[in-house]
Structure 1
Amino acid sequence: MKLAIQSERHSEILMEVIPVFEGGKVLHVCNSCAARVQRFIKFGRFNASLGSTYKFTKEKDLGLIKEEIYVGLGKEEEITSERIRKAIAKAIREVKKLNVEKATVRFIDLDNISTEEVVKAITEGVVFADYEFNKYKEVKEDKVCLNEVRIASVAEEKVAAAEKALEEAKVIIDSTIAARNLVNEPANVLIPEELAKRAEDMGKEYGFQVEVMHKEQIEALGMEAYLAVARGSVNEPKLIVMRYFGDEANKENITGLVGKGLTFDTGGYSLKPADYMLHMKNDMGGAAAVIGAMAAISKNKVKANVVAVVAACENVISGGSYKPGDIIGSMGGKHIEIINTDAEGRLTLADAVYYAVEKEEVTRIVDVATLTGAALIALGDTTTAVITNNDEFYSKLQKAAEACGEKVWQLPAFEEYKELIKSSVADLKNTGGRYAGTITAGLFIGEFVKNTPWLHLDIAGTAWADADKDYLTKGGTGGSVRTLYYLVKNN
Structure 2
Amino acid sequence: MEYLVKSGSPEKQRVGCVVVGVFDRRKLSQQARALDFASDGVLSSILRRGDLDGKLGDTAVLHNVDELLCDRVLLVGCGKEREFNDRNYQKACAAAIKQLTALGGVDAAVYLTEMNVRGRDDFAWQVKDALLTVEDHLYRFDACRGDGFEAPRHKLSRLVFQVPRRSDLRAAERGVAEGRATAAGVKRAKDLGNMPPNICTPSYLAERAEELGNTHGKLSTRVLGEDEMAELGMGALLGVSQGSRQPARLIAMEYNGGASKQKPIVLVGKGVTFDSGGISIKPGAAMDEMKYDMGGAASVFGAVEAAAEMDLEQNVVGVVAAVENLPDGNAYRPGDILTSMSGQTIEIINTDAEGRLALADALTWVEQNYDPDAVVDLATLTGAALMALGSHAAALYGNNSPLRRALRDAGDAIGDRAWPMPAWEEYNEQLDSNFADMANVGGKLAGSVTAACFLQRFARKLRWAHLDIAGVAWKSGGEKGATGRPVGLLTQYLIDRTRDDA
Confirm or deny a common fold (TM above 0.5). Answer: yes
Separation in 1, partners of 2:127, 2:427: 44
- Partner residue of 2:220? 209
Per-residue Cα deviation, 1:153-195 (whole angstroms, up to 9, x for no partner): 5532222332232122111111111111111111111111111
Q: Which amino acid aligns with 1:486?
A: Q
Separation in 1, partners of 2:7, 2:446: 53
Separation in 1, partners of 2:423, 2:30: 47
Contact 2:5 2:160 in 1 (8 A): yes
Separation in 1, partners of 2:14, 2:459: 57
Separation in 1, partners of 2:98, 2:35: 25
- Partner residue of 2:183? 173
Question: CA, structure 1 residues 276+423, in 2 after alignment: closer, same or farther (shift >3 Å)?
Answer: farther
- Partner residue of 2:165? 155
Separation in 2, partners of 1:121, 1:449: 34
Gaps of 5+ in 2: 498-502
Question: CA, structure 1 residues 77+453, in 2 after alignment: closer, same or farther (shift >3 Å)?
Answer: farther
- Partner residue of 1:22? 24
- Partner residue of 1:57? 62
Per-residue Cα deviation, 1:202-228 (whole angstroms, up to 9, x for no partner): 233244211111111111111110000
Q: Secondary structure at the match of 1:366?
A: strand
**Offset, 1:69:** 2.8
Q: Which amino acid aligns with 2:82?
A: E
Tell me which of 307, 310, 329 is aligned to 2:317: 307
Gaps of 5+ in 1: none
- Partner residue of 2:82? 77
- 2:418 is equivalent to residue 408 of structure 1: yes
Separation in 2, partners of 1:230, 1:358: 22
Question: CA, structure 1 residues 273+134, in 2 after alignment: closer, same or farther (shift >3 Å)?
Answer: same
Contact 2:13 2:70 in 1 (8 A): no
**Offset, 1:19:** 2.5
Q: How does the TM-score come out when normalised to structure 1?
A: 0.92
**Offset, 1:360:** 1.8
Q: Which amino acid aligns with 2:491?
A: Y
Separation in 2, partners of 1:353, 1:83: 39
- Partner residue of 2:3? 3
**Deviation larger for 158-167 or 422-431:** 158-167
User: What RMSD in Å do the two structures reach over aligned CA positions?
Assistant: 2.3
Separation in 2, partners of 1:448, 1:310: 16
Question: CA, structure 1 residues 36+431, in 2 after alignment: closer, same or farther (shift >3 Å)?
Answer: farther
Tell me which of 255, 266, 269 is aligned to 1:244: 255
- 2:486 is equivalent to residue 475 of structure 1: no
Q: Secondary structure at the match of 1:19?
A: strand
**Deviation larger for 89-98 or 7-16:** 7-16
Q: Which amino acid aligns with 1:304?
A: Q
- Partner residue of 1:453? 463
Per-residue Cα deviation, 1:297-330 (whole angstroms, up to 9, x for no partner): 1221223222221010100121111111111110
Q: Which amino acid aligns with 1:13?
A: V
What pairs with 1:75-474 in structure 2 (closer than 5 Å)?
Answer: 75-106=80-111, 107-110=113-116, 112-138=120-146, 139-152=149-162, 154-206=164-216, 207-248=218-259, 250-251=261-262, 253-466=263-476, 474=480
Q: How does the TM-score come out when normalised to structure 2?
A: 0.90
**Offset, 1:133:** 1.1
Separation in 1, partners of 2:398, 2:74: 44
Per-residue Cα deviation, 1:429-470 (whole angstroms, up to 9, x for no partner): 1111110001111111111002322111011010002367xx
Separation in 1, partners of 2:312, 2:152: 41
Question: CA, structure 1 residues 76+272, in 2 after alignment: closer, same or farther (shift >3 Å)?
Answer: same
Q: Secondary structure at the match of 1:55?
A: strand
Separation in 1, partners of 2:241, 2:175: 43
**Offset, 1:82:** 4.2
Question: CA, structure 1 residues 444+303, in 2 after alignment: closer, same or farther (shift >3 Å)?
Answer: same
Q: Which amino acid aligns with 1:93?
A: K
Q: Which amino acid aligns with 2:101?
A: K
Q: Secondary structure at the match of 1:409?
A: strand
Contact 1:60 1:66 in 2 (8 A): yes
Contact 1:384 1:407 in 2 (8 A): yes
Q: Secondary structure at the match of 2:103?
A: coil
**Deviation larger for 367-376 or 95-104:** 95-104
Separation in 2, partners of 1:367, 1:236: 22
Q: Which amino acid aligns with 1:26?
A: S
Separation in 2, partners of 1:478, 1:34: 45
Question: RCO greater where, 1 or 2, for CA within 8 Å and sep 6 or more?
Answer: 1
Separation in 1, partners of 2:286, 2:437: 31
Separation in 1, partners of 2:40, 2:84: 20
Percent identical pairs in the alignment equals: 36
Q: Secondary structure at the match of 1:212?
A: strand
**Deviation larger for 422-431 or 24-33:** 24-33
Separation in 2, partners of 1:232, 1:123: 43
Separation in 2, partners of 1:142, 1:240: 36
Separation in 1, partners of 2:195, 2:352: 22
Separation in 2, partners of 1:316, 1:439: 25
Number of residue-to-residue matches in the alignment: 484
Contact 1:307 1:360 in 2 (8 A): no
Q: Secondary structure at the match of 1:94?
A: helix
